[in-house]
Amino acid sequence: MHATRLIPAALALIVLTSATADAQWRNRDPRDRGPVYGRRAPIVDIASSNGFEEGYRKGRDDGRDRDRFDVRRHGRYRSADQGYRREYGPKDVYRQAYRAGFERGYDAGYRDGRRNQGGRWRW
């Protein structure tokens, strides 16, 4: 008789536990391996930083050489997988963040390169 009273309590515990796990799963960011707590996924930060650094270098060189402003002509921008590692997660998410970072870096680098043409700062 004692065991029959424990069965409904055990079932209730199982239902509550699975409902909590389901709610946590639904709140996941598909770009991340953990729950979302109002922050960006690490893959976005890594990719954006990698893209910014490379974009800045390419933009600075283009500005200094007086080349036209054209982010898309660079192979690293088009491939957008520089620095990617499989453990980061979906490659498409990485590429999107890399390109956004590359564009920001290219813009900043191009402006700096135009100011410093031939080793002289132009204001």
What is the percent of the chain where pLDDT is above 90? Answer: 56
Is residue 85 domain-resident? Answer: yes
5, part of any domain: no
On whether residue 64 sits in a domain, the answer given is yes
DSSP letters, 30-92, are: TTSSSB-SSS--HHHHHHHHHHHHHHHHHHHHHHHTT----GGGSHHHHH--TT--GGG--HH
pLDDT digits (tens, 9 = 90+) for 58-111: 999 999 999 999 999 999 999 999 999 999 989 999 999 999 999 999 999 999
Q: Is residue 116 part of a domain?
A: yes
CB 101, CB 48: distance < 8 Å: yes
**Is residue 33 one of the residues assigned to a domain?**
no
Q: Which domain holds residue 64?
A: 40-123
Question: Do residues 59 and 115 lie in contact, with contact meaning Cβ atoms separated by under 8 Å?
Answer: no
Residue 78 lies in a domain: yes
Instruction: Identify whether 24 is part of a domain.
Output: no
Say what the pLDDT of residue 75 is.
95
Report the predicted TM-score, pTM, of the whole model to 2 decimal places. Answer: 0.64
Q: What is the pLDDT of residue 10?
A: 59
The answer as to whether 77 is a domain residue is yes
pLDDT of residue 111: 95
Cβ pair 55, 105 in contact under 8 A = yes
**Paired tokens of 59:** 């933009």
Asked whether the beta carbons of 117 and 64 are under 8 A apart, the reply is yes
Backbone angles phi, psi at 30, to 5 degrees: -65, -20
Number of structural domains (the chain) is 1
